[in-house]
Structures are given as structure tokens and as C-alpha cells.
């Protein structure tokens, strides 16, 4: 097993505070700068698994930063630099307290809700007669409130977001517009690689100047679901499961082993062999979505490597 980054304890120059997310560590530095470290932690059903996944943080960070650059012509983002494979540095923002989830296909959470008999999801009416992994007539936006640590994200409608004043109508219209544009671009990038971008989530924030920008991650296997385009229709016609690249396979494994993040349930033990399988699946997605061979960073002393690269960046 490779060394993994699961519980870093950094103290960077000019550091003012740190936020420990499920997967990312976010450091607020002086001069309105944020430093975000993508760890190797794995979260499913809003629960962090006990063991890290080798190279997962590097994969998430490198996909997200490449996708930020591939979409910055249509939606502004927070990113300034990536001095280390696991690190992104950008502008400090005030995050909106909603995640903008957009779905092109009825999969994952939407399919589970549909199978339970629901025909309205986050205020959006769902057509009758759909089967799992069918394509929606047009993509639907199904927002979620951002959970506090240890809590679950919760579905919420556009109407409730505005009624509760979580986001102003003026800002929400921008979030919707940006979400649709990003999903369209992401779908085009995926199609060039023989993939289908099934669904994803975006997070946005405001800079101190009041500019709305894309933050956090984008089009990664943690925030998105991908199918292989080749054979999609045939599998759908036969009622077969789709071949996919996403974190959904981990969720399905957990469900099969009696865990869905519900009260009283215990996280099943992940063997080293299974953890390596998960790591290989993440590498597979990286190579498919970027079209590039994944180059494993040196993880023999991963904490020291990150600290040195960050210090070198700020000293130049």
C-alpha cells in the first residue's frame, strides 16, 4: 500500500485558520488567499471511510484544476496556481450555502428516489415511465443544502432557496446559468473521450469584490458520474447496468455490505486489496477524462513534499 494523505497537520506562513472538510483541507491565508489540499480521504453517504485511497487526492486535484482551466472562458473561477499535485491556491471567497447539482440522466440518488415512488425532485417534475439511467429530456437542476460536518446534504427546491433567503434571486439566476454552461462544456469534453457526463455538482462563492466564481472541485469522480458512451444504448435497451466511472461503485459496494450512512450502521472493513481496486478505478477515470497517462507523484514523504512545494511557491 502506498502512503496516503489522510490527516495532514500543516501550519503555513500567514495562515489564519483551517477548515477540515470531508475530503479537503482549506487554509485561509493572509491577503485573501485560500490554499486547498485534496487529501486521500474517501467520503460516501457523507461519511469519511476509515482508510485513505492511494493517489486519490492527486487525481481529484489534477482533474479539477485542468477542468477549471478548460472552462474559465465561460465561467470565472477561484484558481490562481497549483504548486503541488495535491494543492490548489486561489482567491478567498464566501461560499454559497447550496450545491448546484445538475443531472442529465436518472441515476444514483435520483434513481433511488424515483424507485421509491417520488415524481418530484427538488421541485422538478420527473416524467413517468423512466428506467434507471435513462436520459432526461433536458438536464435538470436539483440543488442541495451544504451539510455541516457530520450531517447529510439535503435536497432543496429553487423555490425554497429563494423563500428562505439562502441565495438572492439575482445571484441564483447567475448560479443556474453558470451550472448549465459548465454541464454543457463538461458533456462536450466527456464526449470527446468516449464518455457521458451523467450528473455532477458545482459549488460557487463570491469574492470580496462581489464577483461570483466557481470554487472547490469540478468534473471529478467525487463530484460527477460518468458512463462509457460505447454500448450505452445497447445496455439500456437490455435493462443492463451501465459501465461507469464514478464513486457510485463504492456506494454500491457499501450498500451490498449493509451500509448507507444510516444511524446504527457500521462502515464495513475495506481490505487492502479492495482499496487498491478503488485507487485503480480513480486512475482509470483520470486517464479517460483527461486523455493523459496518470503519473504517480512521489508519496514516500507526502507531507514534506507538500510543505516544501508550498513554501517554494510563496518564496518566489
pLDDT per residue, tens digit, the chain (316 aa), is 568 999 998 999 899 999 998 899 999 999 999 999 999 999 988 888 989 999 999 999 999 999 999 999 999 999 999 999 999 999 999 999 999 999 999 998 999 999 999 999 999 999 999 999 999 999 999 999 976 554 567 999 999 999 999 999 999 999 999 999 999 999 999 999 999 999 999 999 999 999 999 998 999 988 899 999 999 999 999 999 998 777 778 888 999 999 998 888 999 999 999 999 999 988 988 999 899 999 999 999 999 999 999 999 999 8
Architecture of domain 15-94+248-315: 2-Layer Sandwich (3.30)
In the chain, list all ranges with CATH 3.30.470.20: 96-246
- CATH top-level class for 96-246? alpha beta
Cell numbers at residue 197, please?
A: 457526463
Say what the pLDDT of residue 152 is: 60
Distance (Å, whole) CA 260 – CA 9: 30
Say what the pLDDT of residue 222 is: 82
Say what the pLDDT of residue 2 is: 65
Say what the pLDDT of residue 148 is: 59
Burial class from Cβ neighbours inside 10 Å (0-12, 13-18, 19+) for residue 130 reads middle
In the chain, list all ranges with CATH 3.30.200.20: 15-94+248-315
Q: In DSSP terms, which residues pair with 103 in a beta bridge?
A: 140, 199
Say what the pLDDT of residue 141 is: 98
Cell numbers at residue 106, please?
A: 436518472
Amino acid at each position: 500500500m502506498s502512503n496516503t494523505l489522510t490527516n495532514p497537520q500543516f501550519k503555513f506562513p500567514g495562515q489564519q485558520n483551517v477548515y477540515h472538510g470531508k475530503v479537503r483541507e482549506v487554509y485561509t491565508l493572509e491577503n485573501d488567499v485560500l490554499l486547498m489540499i485534496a487529501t486521500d480521504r474517501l467520503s460516501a453517504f457523507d461519511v469519511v471511510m476509515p482508510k485513505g485511497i492511494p493517489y486519490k487526492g492527486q487525481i481529484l486535484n489534477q482533474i479539477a484544476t485542468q477542468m477549471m482551466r478548460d472552462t474559465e472562458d465561460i465561467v470565472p473561477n477561484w484558481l490562481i496556481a497549483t504548486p503541488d499535485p495535491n494543492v490548489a491556491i486561489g482567491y478567498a471567497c464566501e461560499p454559497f450555502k447550496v450545491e448546484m447539482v445538475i443531472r442529465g440522466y436518472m441515476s444514483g440518488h435520483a434513481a433511488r428516489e424515483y424507485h421509491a415512488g417520488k415524481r418530484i425532485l427538488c421541485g422538478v417534475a420527473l416524467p413517468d415511465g423512466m428506467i434507471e439511467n435513462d436520459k432526461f429530456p433536458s438536464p435538470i437542476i436539483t440543488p442541495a443544502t451544504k451539510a455541516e460536518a457530520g450531517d447529510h446534504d439535503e435536497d432543496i427546491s429553487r423555490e425554497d432557496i429563494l423563500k428562505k433567503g439562502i441565495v438572492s434571486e439575482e445571484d441564483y439566476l447567475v448560479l443556474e446559468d453558470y451550472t448549465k454552461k459548465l454541464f454543457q462544456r463538461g458533456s462536450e469534453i466527456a464526449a470527446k473521450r468516449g464518455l457521458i457526463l451523467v450528473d455532477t455538482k458545482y459549488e460557487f462563492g463570491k469574492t470580496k469584490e462581489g464577483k461570483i466564481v466557481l470554487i472547490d472541485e469540478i468534473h471529478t469522480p467525487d463530484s460527477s458520474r460518468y458512463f462509457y458512451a460505447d454500448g450505452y444504448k445497447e445496455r439500456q435497451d437490455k435493462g443492463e447496468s451501465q459501465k461507469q466511472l464514478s464513486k457510485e461503485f463504492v456506494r454500491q459496494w457499501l450498500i451490498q455490505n449493509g451500509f448507507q450512512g444510516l444511524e446504527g450502521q457500521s462502515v464495513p472493513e475495506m481490505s487492502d486489496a479492495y482499496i487498491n481496486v478503488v485507487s485503480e478505478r480513480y486512475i482509470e477515470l483520470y486517464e479517460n477524462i483527461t486523455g493523459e497517462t496518470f503519473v504517480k507523484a512521489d508519496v514516500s514523504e507526502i507531507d514534506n513534499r507538500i510543505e516544501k512545494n508550498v513554501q517554494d511557491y510563496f518564496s518566489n
